[in-house]
Amino acid sequence: MINLLVLKENSDNENRVALVPDEIKKYLDLGFKVVVEKDAGTKSGFLDEDYKKANANISNNIKKSIKESDVIIKVQKLDPGLIKEMKTGAILIGLLSPQKNSSENAIYNKKKISAFALENIPRITRAQDKDVLSSQSNLAGYKAVLDAAHEYSKSFPMMMTAAGTVTPAKVLVLGAGVAGLQAIATAKRLGAVVSAYDVRLAAKEEVESLGAKFVVFDEEVLKKSQTEGGYAKEMTEDYKKKQEQALEKSIPENDIIICTALIPNKRAPRLISKKIIEKMKSESVIVDLAVETGGNAELSEENKIIVHKGIKIIGYTNYPSRIPGDSSTLFSKNVFNFIKILIDNENKKIKVNLDDEIISKTLLSHQGKLMNL
C-alpha cells in the first residue's frame, strides 16, 4: 500500500487544496491509503466530513503523518522544516517554484526526495490532462474579467432603453495564452467589444475564433516570436519600441485592459507605461495578472487596487485561489493524472521512469541528484 498525504496550505493568500473528495476513490483503486490534514479543504468548501465519507483518514498529527508518507501532494511548496521530516526517498508533488527556492532544493537532494515541480510540465499532447498551469490560468482569465466588471463604473453590454442607449465596454486583452483566451471569451459573454494583442501570430486564429479582433502592427516579426513549446519569446529592443508606440495609441481607446503576458522564468514584459496609463479615460480599469513577475503595467502593485488619475489598476496575486472550489477540483484532477504515470499498475508501486519526458522535465531532485535547475 502506498501512503498518500494531502497537506493544508498555510499561506494567507492560498485557498486551494491539492485533492478534493471526489478524486479519492481513484487513488484507493490504485492501491493508495489517503490521509488528509485536518481542515485542508475548508477554505475551498470541502469539509473533513466530506473526506471521511470518501474513505480518507483525517490527520491531526501532521509531523507523524509526514514521516509515514510515501507521497505528499500540495498546491504550493512545502515549508523547509517539514521537508526535513519527510522520510528518505519519499515523493513531493506540487507547484514548487524551483527558481525561487534554492534552500528547499538542497534539502530535497540531501533527503533523496523525488520532488516534482508541476509548473515544469511540458507542452505536449500527452501532458494536457496534467497541465496545472493551463487549468488554473483558465480560471484566472475568467475571474480577472469579473473583477474588472465589478470595479468598472459602467455596464459591459450595450443596452437599449426608453431613456437612451448604453454603449458597450471596450476590452483589450494583452496576451492570448490560456488566461487571455478565457478572458476574451468571458468579456464577450458579458457583451463587451473585445480585441486582443499577442506577440505570437499563431494566436490570431484563436482570438478571432472567439469573436475578438486581433491587433497586429508588425506581422513579419510576429512570425518568429514563438518558442517550440508554444510560449512567447522575449522581443528585441527595436520591436519593444514599436510595440509601445502601437499600444500607446490602442490602449486609451479601450475601457478595460486585461494583462496576461508572461515569459517563462523571466520578468513579465512591461507593456503599459505610466505615460500610457495617463492617456487612458478616467474610470478605465487595468487588471494585471502578471503582477507577481514584475507586472505588465508600470503602476500595478501586488494585492492592491491602485487609483491613478481616476484609473483603477488591480494587482491581485494568485488569481486561481480566488475561485478555490473549481480551481482545487481541476488541480486535483491534474495531479491524479500525473501520479498515474508514476504507478506500476502490475505491482501497485511507484516507479519513476526517467525516460518519460513528463517525469524527467518535472523532476527537481531524484535519488540525491538535482535536476532541471
DSSP string, 48-62: HHHHHHTTPEEES-H
User: All 3 cell numbers of residue 261?
Assistant: 503576458
Please report the pLDDT score of residue 271 as a whole number. Answer: 94
**Domains of the chain as residue ranges with CATH:** 2-130+324-370 (3.40.50.720), 137-322 (3.40.50.720)
Please report the pLDDT score of residue 231 as a whole number. Answer: 56
The residue assigned the cell 491539492 is 18
Catalytic residue among 70, 131, 255, 326: 131
pLDDT by residue (tens digit) across 105-157?
Answer: 889 989 999 999 999 999 999 999 999 999 999 999 999 999 999 999 999 99
d(CA 34, CA 27): 7
Nearest to 260 by CA among 224, 300, 222: 300
| Exposure letters 9-40 (e unless 16+ CB within 10 A, then b) | beeeebbbbbbbbebbebbeebebbbbbbeeb
Catalytic residue among 11, 97, 99, 128: 128
Dmax over CA atoms of the chain, in Å, equals: 73
Read off the pLDDT of each residue in 76-95 and give the average, rounded to a whole number: 95
Strand order of the β-sheet with 170-174 is 213-215, 193-197, 170-174, 256-259, 285-288, 311-314, 305-308
pLDDT by residue (tens digit) across 190-232?
Answer: 999 999 999 888 899 999 999 999 998 666 555 555 555 555 5
Catalytic residue among 123, 189, 270, 322: 123
Please report the pLDDT score of residue 130 as a whole number. Answer: 97
Catalytic site residue 128? yes
Would the pLDDT of 373 be above 70? no
The DSSP call for residue 331 is H
Is 300 in contact with 273 (CB distance < 8 Å)?
no
Read off the pLDDT of each residue in 296-317 and give the average, rounded to a whole number: 97
Q: Which of 204 and 265 is assigned the larger pLDDT?
A: 204
Please report the pLDDT score of residue 233 as a whole number. Answer: 58
Q: 273 phi and psi, to 5 degrees?
A: -80, 165
Mean pLDDT of the chain: 92
pLDDT by residue (tens digit) across 239-254?
Answer: 778 888 889 999 999 9
Read off the pLDDT of each residue in 268-277 and give the average, rounded to a whole number: 94
d(CA 210, CA 36): 41
pLDDT by residue (tens digit) across 17-38?
Answer: 999 999 999 999 999 999 999 9
DSSP string, 24-39: HHHHHHTTEEEEEETT
pLDDT by residue (tens digit) across 49-82?
Answer: 999 999 999 999 999 999 999 999 999 999 999 9
pTM above 0.85, yes or no: yes
* pLDDT range class, residue 186, cuts 50, 70, 90: very high
Task: Give the DSSP H/E element, type plus range, for residue 349.
Answer: strand 349-350
Reduced to 3 states (helix: H, G, I; strand: E, B; else coil), residue 288 is strand
Catalytic residue among 76, 134, 321, 327: 134
Is 261 in contact with 289 (CB distance < 8 Å)?
no
Please report the pLDDT score of residue 97 as a whole number. Answer: 86
Catalytic residue among 231, 239, 270, 273: 231
